[in-house]
Amino acid sequence: MTETIVITGASDGVGAAAARQLAGDGHRLVLVGRSPEKTRAVAESVGAEHHLADFTRLDDVRSLAEALRRDCGRIDVLAHNAGGVFSGPSATPDGFEKTFQVNHLAPFLLTRRLQDRLLDSRARVVATSSIGARVFSRLDLDDIQTWERFTANRAYGNAKLANILFVRELHDRFHAEGLSAVAFHPGFVATNFASDTSSWFRLAYRSALRRMFSTPEEGGRRLARLITGTPGRTWSSGEYCGSDLQIARTAVAGHDPEVARRHWELSEQLLAG
């Protein structure tokens, strides 16, 4: 069966590599990116459709959801791959902390706006998270956006933990209705990651260490394997996988169902405010 696969963060890096690997399989690819030129170029190279959205602007996310609802009769896979680490704390035009919004709140909103379509299609949601959730996160639900005691690494770790908590709660709330979700670490991939921050990530990604990183093609292959995989057979819904795509440990809070529930509720309250 031809499936409709939506990939965000698809103008470069892991997302673009996954799109190239999925091209030609007979699926309908819908790519989402921020850069008009880069997103269009990738889409044209793989014969995909494309949409533009800047996740620092939630109105872009709302418009994207409406466009996908209009243009896609069904959505079989929603792959959340957009994200990054940023200096800060920095407020978006919506008033939210940038790292939190781009990595978590924007994909959360997009999923919620498409929820009925995803349920109708018994869809799979794949979220690109990071081992950074385990290494750097220090989650405080009273400061969910990490405005206080901000460092680029801590904010990124908390945001990547948010991806994992989102997947766990999405599974708990909707798996019985046919929706499946998984988060994963794509590996340390040699991309333009961290170029917008003063974090030591930026130095590592520009140093000799870069030679030890995975290629975007390897990271894209991991994403593509989850996109085309079968929940319950090739991956387990509600779980977080390491770069070997096996269930992995993350921060202690990432395994706590009560934290996942509260994080979801707080995210909804922020969007409703």
- Show which residues are catalytic: 156
Nearest in space to 133 (alpha carbons), one of 120, 123, 142, 146: 146
Query: Which of the 8 DSSP states describes residue 110?
Result: H
The rounded distance, in Å, linking the Cα atoms of 121 and 208 is 45
| Kind and range of the H or E run holding 261 | helix 257-272
Burial of 202 by CB count in 10 Å (0-12 exposed, 13-18 middle, 19+ buried)? middle
Inter-axis angle of helices 152-174 and 257-272, nearest 10: 100
Q: Order of strands, edge to edge, in the sheet holding 49-52?
A: 49-52, 28-33, 4-7, 77-80, 124-128, 180-184, 239-241
DSSP label at 42? H
CB atoms within 10 A of CB 53: 24
